């Protein structure tokens, strides 16, 4: 049938009405050109209400606590010392794209300074999109630095590793390394002791439920809102997929390990390696991000083009300091206390403004107040934010696929390949 055939036009109009009612669309337009059907849709502000829970996925993985190599769904191989921590970093940094948002990006041959590199997840993710990257990776925990070296070598990334802590001055510090959660090792005077993995993970589960249940947790993903009730469903599904049964499973209760480590400043390390330009300064250091930022000299700031970091104390002061050096600063959703000095986790993004734009501080996330432990509830908020971003793409793909199948059935089309679904904001 031609696109102007009355029967064909009527059929398209009927499908349009069906889609709007079935999928809660604010806007829908169905058009045809030859054998090609194009469906343009703007969903309601939340996508989760129209899809059953089983349509949400994070990533497939097994649930072991031995070190070794694992391969994720996209074929990426990774060396790790504790698997669930590696899975979280993969979801947050690789799939969730945590550090490359709000205009922060890279280019071929870029120089990355990764403060708190852990097992190298950020550099690995970036290397899949850009070539010839140069990485100066800073990681304090010896066993984690070994995994970092294996991963960067295995993936052919040009790198230098500094095994040391980062702080306001040179010297020595005491670290707490957690064999069961190497992604949250940190300075002993900041992170505090946790008696066992069981205690930590059980409290993390309670924190995630508590944050989601506030229904104050709203986050925007590509223009679509995921509400607190949506997040609560994501928590249940994600934890089920992780295979977590905190009451019944055998857990290895290894105590924190104390490590005496050399501490250096950012300026000192960059000077030692003659780094003239930093295309991206990425910072993820438990509890001391503010100290790291405040210690960078004015001269060194002139060589830094972009910053992406997790900031967990003195957020406003950190944003003001970076902004004072000529950066446009964007703050993401904030989780935690109201007072300066409180633990309030947030991701911060900064870049040089383009053209004659005046740099600003843009706060894109409201503060979520929670009543649980000062450390774990903000961390749970970041975990939830990651899970929402990871699931958003899966939701949209399934949403578009469901629309295409509906059109295929209604118009009796042999293959959905001739149907293009375009999702607009």
Domain definitions of the chain by residue range: 6-46+395-423, 53-392
pLDDT reported for residue 304: 98
Residue with the bigger pLDDT between 418 and 294: it is 294
pLDDT reported for residue 422: 84
Structure tokens of 54? 């089983």
Residue with the bigger pLDDT between 173 and 97: it is 173
Q: Please give the CATH topology (third level) of the domain spanning 6-46+395-423.
A: GMP Synthetase; Chain A, domain 3 (3.30.300)
Residue with the bigger pLDDT between 45 and 92: it is 92
Measured CA to CA in angstroms, residue 241 lies from 60, 171, 232, 235 at distances of 7, 43, 14, 10
pLDDT for 389-402, tens place per residue? 555 666 677 678 88
Confidence of residue 273 (pLDDT cuts 50, 70, 90): very high
pLDDT reported for residue 156: 93
**397 Cβ contact list (under 8 Å, min separation 6):** none
pLDDT surpassing 50 at residue 53: no
pLDDT reported for residue 246: 41
Q: What is the mean pLDDT of residues 115-137?
A: 95
What is the helix (H) or strand (E) element at residue 363, kind and residue range?
A: strand 361-363
Q: What is the mean pLDDT of residues 196-212?
A: 66
Strands 328-331 and 343-351: antiparallel
Confidence of residue 377 (pLDDT cuts 50, 70, 90): low
Confidence of residue 188 (pLDDT cuts 50, 70, 90): low
pLDDT reported for residue 127: 94
Q: What is the mean pLDDT of residues 332-337?
A: 65
pLDDT reported for residue 230: 58
pLDDT reported for residue 195: 54
pLDDT reported for residue 55: 42
pLDDT reported for residue 54: 44
pLDDT reported for residue 351: 96
Answer left, alpha or beta for residue 397, where phi above 0 means left and psi between -120 and 50 means alpha: alpha
CATH number of 53-392: 3.40.50.150
What's the whole-number average pLDDT of the chain? Answer: 76
Residue with the bigger pLDDT between 63 and 206: it is 206
Alpha-carbon dihedral sign for residues 401, 406, 412, 418: negative
pLDDT reported for residue 385: 62
Confidence of residue 324 (pLDDT cuts 50, 70, 90): very high
96-100 LR contacts (CB < 8 Å, sep 24+): 96/385, 96/386, 96/389, 96/390, 97/125, 97/389, 98/308, 98/347, 98/386, 98/389, 99/282, 99/308, 99/309, 99/347, 100/126, 100/308
pLDDT reported for residue 2: 44
Q: What is the mean pLDDT of residues 362-381?
A: 59
What distance in Å separates the CA atoms of residue 414 and residue 423, rounded to the nearest whole number?
23
Query: Edge-to-edge strand order for the sheet containing 419-423?
Result: 25-33, 36-43, 419-423
Q: What is the mean pLDDT of residues 177-202?
A: 67
pLDDT reported for residue 415: 65
Least confident of 27-41, 98-112, 239-253: 239-253
The whole-model pTM stands at 0.70
pLDDT surpassing 60 at residue 63: no
* Percent of the chain scoring above 70 in pLDDT: 64
* Percent of the chain scoring above 90 in pLDDT: 30
pLDDT for 83-121, tens place per residue? 667 767 876 788 778 899 889 999 999 999 999 999 999
**5 Cβ contact list (under 8 Å, min separation 6):** none
Residue 343 three-state SS: strand
pLDDT reported for residue 414: 67
What distance in Å separates the CA atoms of residue 112 and residue 199, rounded to the nearest whole number?
36
pLDDT reported for residue 44: 66
Q: What is the mean pLDDT of residues 56-73?
A: 51
Residue with the bigger pLDDT between 10 and 278: it is 278
> Nearest Cα to 177, choosing from 149, 144, 201, 202?
144
Q: What is the mean pLDDT of residues 135-146?
A: 93
């Amino acid at each position: 049938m031609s696109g102007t055939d009355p029967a064909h036009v009527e059929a398209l109009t009927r499908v349009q009405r069906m889609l709007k009612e079935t999928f809660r669309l604010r806007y829908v337009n169905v058009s045809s050109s030859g054998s090609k059907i194009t469906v343009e849709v703007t969903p309601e502000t939340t996508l989760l209400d129209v899809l059953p829970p089983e349509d949400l996925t994070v990533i497939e993985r097994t649930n072991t606590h031995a070190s070794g190599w694992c391969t994720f769904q996209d074929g990426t191989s990774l060396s790790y010392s504790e698997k669930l921590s590696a899975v979280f970093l993969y979801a947050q940094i690789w799939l969730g794209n945590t550090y490359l948002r709000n205009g922060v990006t890279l280019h071929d041959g870029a120089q990355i300074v990764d403060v708190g590199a852990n097992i190298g997840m950020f550099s690995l993710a970036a290397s899949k999109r850009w070539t010839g990257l140069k990485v100066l990776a800073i990681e304090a925990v010896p066993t984690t630095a070994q995994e970092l070296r294996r991963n960067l070598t295995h993936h052919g990334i040009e790198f230098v590793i500094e095994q040391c802590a980062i702080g306001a001055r040179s010297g020595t510090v005491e670290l707490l390394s957690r064999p069961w959660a190497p992604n949250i090792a940190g300075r002993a005077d900041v992170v505090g002791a946790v008696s066992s993995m069981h205690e930590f993970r059980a409290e993390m589960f309670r924190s995630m439920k508590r944050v989601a249940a506030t229904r104050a947790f709203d986050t925007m993903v590509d223009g679509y809102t995921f509400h607190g009730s949506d997040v609560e469903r994501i928590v249940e599904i994600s934890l089920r997929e992780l295979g977590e049964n905190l009451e019944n499973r055998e857990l290895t209760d290894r105590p924190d390990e104390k490590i005496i480590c050399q501490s250096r400043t950012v300026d000192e390390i960059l000077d030692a390696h003659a780094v003239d330009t930093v295309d991206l300064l990425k910072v993820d250091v438990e509890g001391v991000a503010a100290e790291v930022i405040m210690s960078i000299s004015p001269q060194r700031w002139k060589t830094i083009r972009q910053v992406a970091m997790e900031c967990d104390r003195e957020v406003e002061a950190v944003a003001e300091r970076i902004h004072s050096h000529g950066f446009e600063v964007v703050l993401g959703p904030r989780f935690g206390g109201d007072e300066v000095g409180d633990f309030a986790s947030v991701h911060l993004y900064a870049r040089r403004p383009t053209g004659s734009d005046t740099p600003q501080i843009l706060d894109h996330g409201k503060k979520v107040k929670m009543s649980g432990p000062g450390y774990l509830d903000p961390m749970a908020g970041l975990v939830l934010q990651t899970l929402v971003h990871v699931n958003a793409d899966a939701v949209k793909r399934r949403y578009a696929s469901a629309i295409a199948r509906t059109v295929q059935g209604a118009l009796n089309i042999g293959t959905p390949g001739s149907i293009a679904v375009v999702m607009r904001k």
